[in-house]
Amino acid sequence: MSNDASVSLRERVKAPPAKALVEAYYAPAVANSIKFVFVPEMRIHLAHALMLAETGIVKRHDIATILPVLLDLEAKGAGVLSIDYSQEDLYSYIERHIVKVLGPDVGGRLHTARSRNDLNVTSWRLALRDRLLLALEDLNALRAVVLQLATKHAATVMPGYTHSQHAQPISLGYYLLSAGDVLARDFRRLSGALLHADLSPLGAGALTTTGFPIDREGVARQLGFAGLVESAYDAVSSRDDVHETAAALAILMTGLSRVATDLQAWTTAEYGFIELADAYSSVSSIMPQKKNPQALEYTKAAAGHVTGALTAVLAASKNTSYSDVNDGVSAINVPVLEAVDKTRATLAVIQGVLETMIVKPERMAKAAADGYGTATELADVIVRETGLSFRMAHNIVGRVVREAIEAGKTAPEITTTDLDTAAQALFGKSLGIARETVQRALDPAANLKSRTVTGGPAATEIARMLGARRTVLAADAAHVAAVQSRIDTALAGMRDAVRTFKA
């Protein structure tokens, strides 16, 4: 009999797993575990081994024998494991490897005082935490670029749109400031997901902890967790850390997709506001003139994939019992980690698009002037200059705009005579507003200067808001760095404890 034969996890059943089940579930599950959680799981084994020794649950001599085997396996990687798909998860093969090297007596002691339930959920939380930190760093890098561009283009006048129609003049900087504010809220949402993922379930056992005197808090500290998922039942049954992450990612990607939709429209000949760099564009195999916004189309498709991940994780969990179950607790791990990776890739693509795109201010300014977006300010001028109600002024300007369009005029061609004619026809009175006043009202740049109310597009107000945003971004970046430093310090401490461990 081989050393590992007596520690098979399938002693409760006689038959091996069905070929169909292996192909559909076991093989993919093991492959995904190797891809995503081999490294986190090895960290857990080291921390758990140290705890077993420190608490006296397992003799120090045995732990001193186990630790080198763990370190050797970690260094060599999962490729040395003997995987035959008779078991459903990575840990089974790791334990088999340890037992094969050390025998079932010593090798079989590592799993004392824990279950695969708390082990698996902890390893996937570690993988999620690591990826969330990277995603938050990527998100902050994009936010920095957006704020830089918003500063550069605070006075780059362009049309503002509602319902895809010219609404009021804005600046490109004002648009980007708004997009940056959404990204700042995305940061807070993802930070909330990190906060809840950064809690250790280890020590929960199958669902009721264990009769052994384990030190849950000590292991959590060694793994760099901020704290515990205290209730053991909660620790192995709840995966709202995954649900929350998937939701935050879907919201983030939806916002990026909306911006990408605008940018794609602005690259067309009909708009001509921007041009994508060649590095973020593709070409046609048949039409020589084509320069396609490949990066933006990728972004919109990727948003669909991430939204699909949210649907997948919620649907997999929603009709499961509140307990440890594969469909509600385990099946959701891969979709959310793939969603984080997809989001990170998209953040990098959008950052590159923004950093390299060519902005065409003259085309933007002309569109803002010609598109009747200054009509609101013209109505406001009538109110201020004549004392008419806004509704009356709205009627007058609406009539003037309609007649100007019918006559083929652009907004700058509207005159005081046009206003007087409309006012006389509607209300039996002329307005007598000075020509210079009308011209100033029809000037998009002057429109922006007048919008000094809190949150408006005036350059001074944009400067104030951007200053505040830069302060917030700096604090957010420091927060991510602090969390990463805490984790790095904890893991370094654990490594040092392993290195210096003596029987």
Q: Which positions are catalytic?
A: 163, 284
The SS3 of residue 430 is coil
Q: Give the integer Cα–Cα distance in Å for 140 and 145.
A: 9
Q: Please say whether the beta carbons of 48 and 219 come within 8 A.
A: yes
Tell me the CA distances in angstroms from 323 to 83, 88, 101, 244, 497, one per residue in order. Answer: 29, 19, 35, 18, 35
431 touches 386 (CB < 8 A): yes
Beta-bridge partners for 274? 359
**β pairing state of 199-200 and 274-275:** unpaired
Q: How far is CA 448 from the centre of its chain?
A: 33
Residue 345 and residue 303: Cα distance in Å, rounded? 11
Q: Are 344 and 138 in contact (CB under 8 A)?
A: yes
Q: b vs e for 95-112, b when ≥16 Cβ sit within 10 Å of the residue's Cβ?
A: bbbbbbbbebebbbbbbe
Helices (H), 154-293: 172-197, 216-222, 232-237, 240-266
Q: Contacts by 65-72 with C-beta closer than 8 Å and gap 24+?
A: 65/102, 65/106, 66/98, 66/102, 66/106, 66/107, 66/109, 66/110, 67/498, 67/501, 69/97, 69/98, 69/101, 69/102, 69/107, 70/42, 70/45, 70/46, 70/98, 71/46, 71/498
Evaluate whether 124 touches 91 at the Cβ level (below 8 Å): no
Alpha-carbon gap, residue 339 to 309, rounded angstroms: 6
- Return all residues near 293 (Cβ < 8 A) that are at least 6 apart: 263, 264, 267, 276, 280, 281
CB 177 within 8 A of CB 462: yes
Burial class (CB in 10 A: 0-12, 13-18, 19+), 303: buried
Q: How many CB atoms lie within 10 A of CB 343?
A: 28
How crowded is residue 261: how many other Cβ atoms within 10 Å of its Cβ?
14
